[in-house]
Chains A and B, each alone.
Chain A
Amino acid sequence: MINLLGKRYYFFILSLLIILPGIGVLAVKKLPLSIDFTGGTLLEVQFEKQAPQPAEVIKVYQDLGVDDVLVQSTSEGTIVARSSFLEDAVRSKIVDELSQELNQTVTVLKLDSVGPSIGQEVAQKAAIAVGVAALIVVLYMTFAFRGVEHALRYGICAIIAMIHDVAIVLSLGAIGGHFWGWQIDSLYLTAVLTVIGFSVQDKIVVFDRVRENSRIYRRLDFETLVNHSIVQTLQRSINTQLMTVEFMLLALALFGGITLREFAIILLVGLFSGTYSSIFIAAPILVVWENREWRQWFTSKDRQALA
Chain B
Amino acid sequence: MQRTQITNIVLIVLIIIVTIYINIPNAPAIPGINRQFQTRLGLDLVGGVQALLEADLPPDQAIDADAMQTARQIVENRVNGLGVTEAVVQQAGDRRIVVELPGEKDPEQALSILKQTGLLEFVDFSELTPQAAFTLVGTKIETDFATGQSPVQPTQPLTSTQTTQTFHTVMTGKALKSVSVTSNQLTGEPEVAFQLTSEGAQIFKDYTTANVGNVLSIVLDKEVISVPTINEPITEGQGSISGNFTIESANALAVQLRYGSLPIPLKIVESRTVGPTLGQDSLRKSLIAGAIGFIVVILFMGLYYRLPGFVAIFAILVYALIDFALFRAIPITLTLPGIAGFLLSTGSALDANILVFERMKEELRSGQTLRQATKLGWVRAWPSIRDSNIATLITCTILYYFGSTLGATIVKGFSLTLFIGVIVSLFTALLVTRTTLTMALEYIKPTNLSRWFGI
A residues near B (Cβ < 8 Å) are: 44, 46, 88, 91-92, 107-115, 117-118, 121-122, 125-126, 128-129, 132-133, 136-137, 140-141, 144, 186-187, 189-191, 193-194, 196-198, 200-202, 204-205, 208-209, 211-212, 232-233, 235-236, 239-240, 243-245, 247-252, 254-257, 259-260, 263, 267, 271
Residues of B contacting A132 in the complex (Cβ-Cβ under 8 angstroms):
398
Contacts A126-B408, A208-B384 known; 14 new A-B pairs at CB < 8 A: A46-B277, A133-B399, A186-B410, A189-B411, A194-B341, A197-B344, A200-B392, A204-B391, A205-B388, A208-B387, A239-B300, A247-B296, A259-B278, A271-B347
Provide 28 A-B residue pairs closer than 8 Å at the C-beta atoms, listed in order of the A residue.
A88-B112, A91-B108, A92-B108, A110-B274, A111-B272, A118-B269, A132-B398, A141-B387, A144-B387, A186-B410, A190-B337, A193-B399, A201-B348, A204-B384, A208-B383, A211-B383, A236-B351, A240-B351, A244-B297, A244-B351, A244-B354, A245-B347, A248-B290, A248-B346, A252-B343, A259-B281, A260-B282, A260-B285
User: B68 an interface residue at 8 Å Cβ cutoff?
Assistant: no
Contact at B289–A194, with CB atoms within 8 Å? no
Alpha-carbon distance A171/B151, docked complex (angstroms): 49
Contact of A115 among B270, B285, B300, B336 (CB under 8 A): B270
User: B389 an interface residue at 8 Å Cβ cutoff?
Assistant: yes
Residues of B contacting A44 in the complex (Cβ-Cβ under 8 angstroms):
278
Residues of B contacting A271 in the complex (Cβ-Cβ under 8 angstroms):
347
Contact at A260–B286, with CB atoms within 8 Å? yes
Residues of B contacting A252 in the complex (Cβ-Cβ under 8 angstroms):
286, 289-290, 293, 343
Contact at B406–A110, with CB atoms within 8 Å? no
Contact at B387–A196, with CB atoms within 8 Å? no
B43 to chain A: closest CB distance in Å? 11
Please provide the 3 A-B residue pairs with the shortest distance between their CB atoms, ordered closest to farther.
A248-B293, A257-B285, A208-B384
Residue of A nearest to B355 (CB): A236
Alpha-carbon distance A52/B271, docked complex (angstroms): 26
Alpha-carbon distance A186/B270, docked complex (angstroms): 13
Q: Binding site of B, secondary structure by majority: helix, strand, loop or mixed?
A: helix
User: B418 an interface residue at 8 Å Cβ cutoff?
Assistant: yes
User: B86 an interface residue at 8 Å Cβ cutoff?
Assistant: no
Residues of B contacting A260 in the complex (Cβ-Cβ under 8 angstroms):
282, 285-286, 289, 336
Task: Give the interface size class of chain B.
Answer: 35 or more
Alpha-carbon distance A110/B270, docked complex (angstroms): 13
Contact of A187 among B277, B304, B410 (CB under 8 A): B410
A262 to chain B: closest CB distance in Å? 12
Residues of B contacting A236 in the complex (Cβ-Cβ under 8 angstroms):
351, 354-355, 358
Residues of B contacting A141 in the complex (Cβ-Cβ under 8 angstroms):
387, 391
User: B179 an interface residue at 8 Å Cβ cutoff?
Assistant: no
A228 to chain B: closest CB distance in Å? 12
Residues of A contacting B269 in the complex (Cβ-Cβ under 8 angstroms):
114-115, 117-118
User: B395 an interface residue at 8 Å Cβ cutoff?
Assistant: yes
Contact at B351–A205, with CB atoms within 8 Å? yes
Alpha-carbon distance A141/B111, docked complex (angstroms): 47
